[in-house]
Structure 1
Amino acid sequence: MKNIKDYCSLFFILCGLSMFNAQNAVDSISKTAQFDCKITQTKQKMHNKYFVSAPELRLRANNQSYVYALFQLGKRENKVFMYIRILDKNVCIKKDQILDIQCLNGKVVSYKNDFHVNCDGIFVKKFNAKEIKNLSQSEMSIIKIYTYQKNYEFLLSRTQNYNINNQLHCLSAYKIKQS
């Protein structure tokens, strides 16, 4: 469980947006697709281990006005992680809470939160190779996060879907530099 706390710390380091103003946010729907990886590896270490991150994506909630989420993929110890932080007040998510990713072909994939109970709106999922392959082969259309108070639904554009798949491929192939 200590590792999950480390990954949350990594998320905050990567995002650096703990005081993010959601009303001034712009989602990443209108941005163009990224054809290069844009993976960032700094000289910072977390508990003596290097990490890398892909650029964050901002998702706008479909069922809430002015509520956004930061979506970011990262890698540490050759494991790819998905970090989602809902930028709303008192978003409590418990460990093993469900996140659903719905694909255009109708397939729904459910993931459990690997992070401890929190009211910061943080959802963390560590992917295995099979999950990365399944996600990257599907065209995602909706991400649903179920919390204590309410549920959040984020619609993904084709550009956002492409960027997520591209980042998954890039992070899977990326070898973390040890210097």
Structure 2
Amino acid sequence: MVDMFRIINFSVLLKTLVGLTVAFSIALYAMIDWLWPETSLIKLFTIASTVGAVLITAVSTSFISRKIWSLLSLFDGSLFPDINGAWEGEITFGESKLVARAIIRQTLSHTQIDLHTPTSKSITLESTPVTEGGQPRLYYVHRVTPRNPDWYIYTGSTLFDIRRVEINGIVRLGKL
């Protein structure tokens, strides 16, 4: 069975953000009304807009979303792993292998990969994290720009297998 998803369920995320926005806005308004009773109702709308903007910005930034992600991973071990960082691996096609380096930037909503080989570089057009039989994988569509100007730019697709490796009793992600 193939489960395709982004890192988290967006309908749950949106409902949670709306609920938090309402709760924080009412709490802030109550505190302001208690401290300064003459404050108008228009302040509530200003506060609600500000709280909503702050929460949405926080969830969409890499630093905060990774903290949320690591917290959610404590409760849900099947959550797609955080693969942010610099990776080294090899690209295998037929009998040939090519050394590759990747920089992966991942948030709750997207995954961006910059892949470099001795002969080309590529950028992400689309990526989809999946879990197939309990194994995390990343389907990746990219545009490749060869270093040789005589070669053509092309679009390709790749399947990254995310391997979990146990080292000294500690489970870590393996190289791509």
TM-score over 0.5 for the pair: no
TM-score range, shorter chain: under 0.3
The TM-score, its normalising length taken from structure 1, stands at: 0.27
Please identify which structure carries the higher helix content. Answer: 2
Q: Say which one has the larger Rg.
A: 2
The TM-score, its normalising length taken from structure 2, stands at: 0.28
Please identify which structure carries the higher strand content. Answer: 2
Structure with more contact order per residue of length (Cα contacts < 8 Å, sep ≥ 6): 1
